[in-house]
């Protein structure tokens, strides 16, 4: 995938790959590790899409870049650990940010004691709660978007973040994170779930905790997460009966 | 040799198809299309239309194939998803045929049928499927025995969105003229991108906000209709192609198969071509004849089901209006 994208970048942005090493190419943006004013930096650039009208393309890419940069700055002011922004160029749909050297939480989790893992996850819970409290949802909270560095957990990739106070959006945020935990730490998932919720409750209080738990439960009962839905249907059946399975 | 007769009646088409399990596969393809005089599909009117046309369509399909009922191995029927009154016509007829002629009855999911006939016609092997029609907008791929949905519309379907827009601005019905949708037609004369919302949420798209904003812009007379059409088309198609690209990155598939009635748009196709080319992927678009609803796709998927022992007792063949694609086991995937 990165090979394909790497060639794509060269063809669209001649010279961009000379900025440094292309370390990741997603469907939307490429990450290049290089230098900026002597600091190791990540160049995150949203790639133009050949299928979009050029004006629309620029509009979409620059507005997403702007939102991302604004939200990163904002949550930083709330005390959430995010990379420092060094430069934003809307015409290029480019954000240059501090390079956080460390380990992805995803890779780290499997090598830690349950105790330490819990501590880190609790911290993630608090950071997420700080964002939610201020009306920011991250939109893609997974353990691959968290970096452990110098005793801190940094949250990265605000590409899908937005301002939202809706319980639905916050519920999806937390739900996604818990699912990403489950996929790595299946046997510890209940413990880690509680650690996260503890951290979340520490910042937002017990009422917000109950609300979000109820919402997550509701989200899990929807179509795509089949196992829990079957459980629900069984209960439902015993109550009223239904001709649909 | 196995021969299946399939009945489609989920929305506006009553279709009867007969297929066999060897080339050229398709032996009969009869379609009766309900066209509303004004507005959209009225389910009851469509159902009455189907009841009127059904007996003749079945006889015609048998005559065209020079087959008699004896040589048919099983009756397949689309039990959902679709409009209740329409579905019930096909289901009732299929149950009656199966009972009277003592044939096995094979349940078919309409969405699976669109995909499977698409694979048959285009020869796509393991594609990321983009299913775009009046009532459906979703991106799926076959993974461990089911079509898993990777992205879909959060509100209205692409086809429904396009139809509603052109109807509300007075360009339709008819919605499609000479195979070109009125939205595409109107957009041909536009060139300016206006400020309308482009909504992609993760892997999902949403069109309701775009519809409201575009109609408001039209009613306030602040922009030329042609430019509104152009912007609406560009935003809607680009959003679909964007989430498809995300689906490719996520699943690692290297084929894209576009199925469903909206697949016919050449502008949409161009966008898919540009995207798949930039990612070195193959693009397959089902030709219009089989992209729209038809009986052949039901018969073909019925054939696959039948060969894997999927049958249903007539008395248990309930219609399922909201039968989701990802609820169907696909035994031929391995």
Chain A residues within 8 A of B283 when measuring between CB atoms: none
Q: Verify whether the Cβ–Cβ distance A139 to B324 is below 8 Å.
A: no
Q: How many Å apart are CA B237 and CA B272, to the nearest integer?
A: 9
Q: Does B145 touch chain A (CB under 8 A)?
A: no
Could you say which residues of chain B have pLDDT below 70?
334
Q: How many domains does chain A have?
A: 2
Chain A residues within 8 A of B201 when measuring between CB atoms: 139, 160
> Do A128 and A64 share a structural domain?
no
**A179 confidence band (pLDDT: 50, 70, 90):** confident
From B276, which residue of chain A is nearest by alpha-carbon distance? Answer: A51
> Do A110 and A87 share a structural domain?
no
Interface test with A, best of B234, B269, B324 (most A CBs within 10 A): B234
Which CATH number is associated with domain B3-110+293-333?
3.30.420.40
> Which pLDDT score, from 0 to 100, does residue A208 have?
93
Q: How many Å apart are CA B154 and CA B65, to the nearest integer?
A: 42
Kindly state whether residue A238 falls inside one of the protein's structural domains.
Answer: no
Q: Verify whether the Cβ–Cβ distance A27 to B248 is below 8 Å.
A: yes
Q: How far is A141 from chain B (nearest CA, A)?
A: 12
Cα distances (angstroms) measured from residue A154 to each of A77, B126, B184: 14, 38, 46
Q: What is the ipTM of this complex?
A: 0.83
**A63 confidence band (pLDDT: 50, 70, 90):** very high
Chain B residues within 8 A of A243 when measuring between CB atoms: 318
> Do A142 and A92 share a structural domain?
no
> Which pLDDT score, from 0 to 100, does residue B295 have?
97
Q: Does A59 touch chain B (CB under 8 A)?
A: yes
**A233 confidence band (pLDDT: 50, 70, 90):** very low
Q: Which residues constitute the domain of residue A123?
A: 103-230
Domain boundary among A98, A132, A163: A98
Q: Which of A53, A140, A244 is facing B234, going by the closest CB pair?
A: A53
Kindly state whether residue A237 falls inside one of the protein's structural domains.
Answer: no
Q: Does B100 touch chain A (CB under 8 A)?
A: no
- Model confidence over B132-182: pLDDT tens digits? 988 889 999 998 888 988 888 888 999 999 999 999 999 978 888 888 999
Q: Which of A1, A8, A160 is facing B249, going by the closest CB pair?
A: A1
Q: Which CATH architecture has domain B116-290?
A: 2-Layer Sandwich (3.30)
Q: Verify whether the Cβ–Cβ distance A27 to B274 is below 8 Å.
A: no
Interface test with B, best of A51, A60, A63, A163 (most B CBs within 10 A): A51
**A191 confidence band (pLDDT: 50, 70, 90):** confident
Q: Does B77 touch chain A (CB under 8 A)?
A: no
> Which pLDDT score, from 0 to 100, does residue A10 have?
56
Q: Which of A50, A51, A56 is facing B193, going by the closest CB pair?
A: A56
Kindly state whether residue A239 falls inside one of the protein's structural domains.
Answer: no
Q: Does B149 touch chain A (CB under 8 A)?
A: yes
Kindly state whether residue A22 falls inside one of the protein's structural domains.
Answer: yes
> Do A75 and A18 share a structural domain?
yes
From A27, which residue of chain B is nearest by alpha-carbon distance? Answer: B246
Q: Does A1 touch chain B (CB under 8 A)?
A: yes
Whether residue B174 has a cis bond before it, omega within 30° of 0: yes
Q: Verify whether the Cβ–Cβ distance A52 to B238 is below 8 Å.
A: yes
Q: How many Å apart are CA B263 and CA B286, to the nearest integer?
A: 7
Q: Verify whether the Cβ–Cβ distance A56 to B234 is below 8 Å.
A: yes
> Do A196 and A151 share a structural domain?
yes
> Which pLDDT score, from 0 to 100, does residue A229 have?
44
> Which pLDDT score, from 0 to 100, does residue B319 have?
96
Element (H, E) at A76: helix A54-77
| CB contact set of A39 (below 8 Å; sequence gap of 6+) | A86, A98, A99
- Model confidence over B212-251: pLDDT tens digits? 999 999 999 989 999 999 999 999 999 999 999 989 988 8
Instruction: Compute the count of residue pairs across chains A and B with CB atoms less than 8 Å apart.
Output: 63
Domain boundary among A63, A98, A133: A98
Q: How far is A59 from chain B (nearest CA, A)?
A: 9
Q: How many Å apart are CA B128 and CA B247, to the nearest integer?
A: 7
Kindly state whether residue A241 falls inside one of the protein's structural domains.
Answer: no
Chain B residues within 8 A of A66 when measuring between CB atoms: none
Interface test with A, best of B143, B202, B204 (most A CBs within 10 A): B202
What secondary structure does DSSP assign to A82-138, as a single string?
A: -PPEEEEETTTTEEEEE---SEEHHHHHTTS-HHHHHHHHHHHHHHHHHHHHTTEE-
> Do A115 and A191 share a structural domain?
yes
Residue B83 is classified by DSSP as -
Domain locations along chain B: 3-110+293-333, 116-290
Active site residues of A: 140
> Do A120 and A201 share a structural domain?
yes
Nearest to B139 by CA among B109, B115, B110: B115
- Rounded average pLDDT over A35-47: 93
Contact in structure between B288 and B104 (CB atoms under 8 Å): no
> Do A144 and A194 share a structural domain?
yes
Chain B residues within 8 A of A223 when measuring between CB atoms: 324, 326
The interface residues of chain B toward chain A in range 179-238, judged by CB-CB distance below 8 A, are 193, 198, 201-202, 231, 234-235, 237-238
Q: Which of A27, A28, A244 is facing B320, going by the closest CB pair?
A: A244
Q: Which of B193, B272, B318 is facing A53, going by the closest CB pair?
A: B193
A61: domain CATH number is 3.30.200.20
**A9 confidence band (pLDDT: 50, 70, 90):** low
Domain boundary among A46, A80, A98: A98
Kindly state whether residue A221 falls inside one of the protein's structural domains.
Answer: yes
Q: Does B88 touch chain A (CB under 8 A)?
A: no
Q: Is the pLDDT of residue A227 over 80?
A: no
> Do A109 and A86 share a structural domain?
no
> Do A196 and A115 share a structural domain?
yes
Three-state SS string over B185-229 comes to HHHCCCCCCCCCCCCEECCEECCHHHHHHHHHHHHCCCCCHHHHH
Q: How many Å apart are CA B187 and CA B184, to the nearest integer?
A: 5
- Rounded average pLDDT over A95-111: 90
Q: Is the pLDDT of residue A217 over 50?
A: yes
Torsion angle (degrees, nearest 10) of CA A15, A20, A21, A27: -60
> Which pLDDT score, from 0 to 100, does residue A13 have?
62
Q: How far is A37 from chain B (nearest CA, A)?
A: 33
- Of residues A70 and B334, the one with the higher pLDDT is A70
From B251, which residue of chain A is nearest by alpha-carbon distance? Answer: A1
For A213, phi then psi, to 5°, come to -65, -40
């Amino acid at each position: 995938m990165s090979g394909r994208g790497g060639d794509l970048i060269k063809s669209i942005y001649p010279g961009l790959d000379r900025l440094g090493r292309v370390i990741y190419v997603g469907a939307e943006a490429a990450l290049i590790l290089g230098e900026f004013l002597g600091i190791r930096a990540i160049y995150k650039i949203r790639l133009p899409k050949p299928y979009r009208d050029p004006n629309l393309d620029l509009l979409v890419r620059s507005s997403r870049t702007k939102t991302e940069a604004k939200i990163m700055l904002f949550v930083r002011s709330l005390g959430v650990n995010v990379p420092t922004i060094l430069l934003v160029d809307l015409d290029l749909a480019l954000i240059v940010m501090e390079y956080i050297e460390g380990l992805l939480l995803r890779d780290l989790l499997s090598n830690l004691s349950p105790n330490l893992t819990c501590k880190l996850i609790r911290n993630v819970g608090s950071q997420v709660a700080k964002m939610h409290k201020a009306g920011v949802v991250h939109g893609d909270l997974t353990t691959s978007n968290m970096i452990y560095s110098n005793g801190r957990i940094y949250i990265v990739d605000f590409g899908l973040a937005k301002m939202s106070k809706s319980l639905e959006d916050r519920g999806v945020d937390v739900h996604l994170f818990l699912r990403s935990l489950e996929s790595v730490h299946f046997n510890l998932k209940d413990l880690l779930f509680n650690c996260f919720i503890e951290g979340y409750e520490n910042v937002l209080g017990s009422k917000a905790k109950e609300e979000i738990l109820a919402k997550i439960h509701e989200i899990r009962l929807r179509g795509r997460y089949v196992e829990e839905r079957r459980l629900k249907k069984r209960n439902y059946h015993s109550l009223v009966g239904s001709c649909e399975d | 040799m196995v021969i299946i007769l399939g009945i489609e009646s989920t929305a506006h088409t009553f279709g009867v198809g007969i297929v066999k399990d060897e080339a050229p596969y398709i032996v009969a393809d009869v379609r009766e299309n309900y066209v509303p005089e004004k507005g959209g599909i009225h389910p009851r009117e469509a159902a009455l239309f189907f009841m009127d046309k059904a007996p003749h369509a079945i006889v015609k399909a048998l005559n065209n194939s020079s087959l008699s009922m004896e040589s048919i191995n099983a009756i397949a029927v689309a039990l959902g998803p679709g409009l209740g009154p329409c579905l019930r016509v096909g289901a009732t007829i299929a149950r009656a045929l199966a009972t009277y002629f003592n044939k096995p009855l094979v349940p078919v999911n309409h969405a699976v049928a669109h995909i499977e006939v698409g694979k048959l016609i285009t020869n796509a092997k393991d594609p990321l499927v983009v299913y775009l029609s009046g009532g459906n907008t979703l991106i799926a791929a076959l993974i461990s025995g089911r079509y898993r949905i990777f992205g879909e519309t959060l509100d209205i379907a692409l086809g429904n969105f396009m139809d509603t827009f052109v109807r509300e601005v007075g360009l339709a019905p008819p919605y499609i003229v000479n195979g070109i949708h009125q939205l595409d037609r109107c957009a041909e004369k536009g060139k300016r991108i206006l400020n309308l919302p482009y909504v992609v949420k993760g892997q999902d798209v949403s069109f309701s906000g775009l519809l409201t904003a575009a109609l408001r812009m039209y009613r306030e007379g602040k922009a030329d209709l042609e430019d509104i059409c152009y912007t609406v088309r560009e935003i809607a198609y680009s959003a679909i192609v964007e989430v498809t690209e995300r689906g490719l990155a996520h699943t690692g598939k290297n084929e894209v198969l576009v199925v469903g009635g909206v697949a016919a748009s050449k502008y949409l196709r161009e966008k898919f071509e540009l995207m798949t080319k930039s990612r070195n992927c193959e693009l397959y678009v089902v030709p219009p004849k089989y992209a729209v609803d038809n009986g052949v796709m039901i018969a073909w998927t019925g054939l696959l089901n039948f060969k894997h022992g999927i049958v249903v007792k007539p008395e248990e063949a309930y219609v399922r209006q909201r039968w989701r694609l990802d609820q169907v086991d696909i035994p031929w995937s391995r």
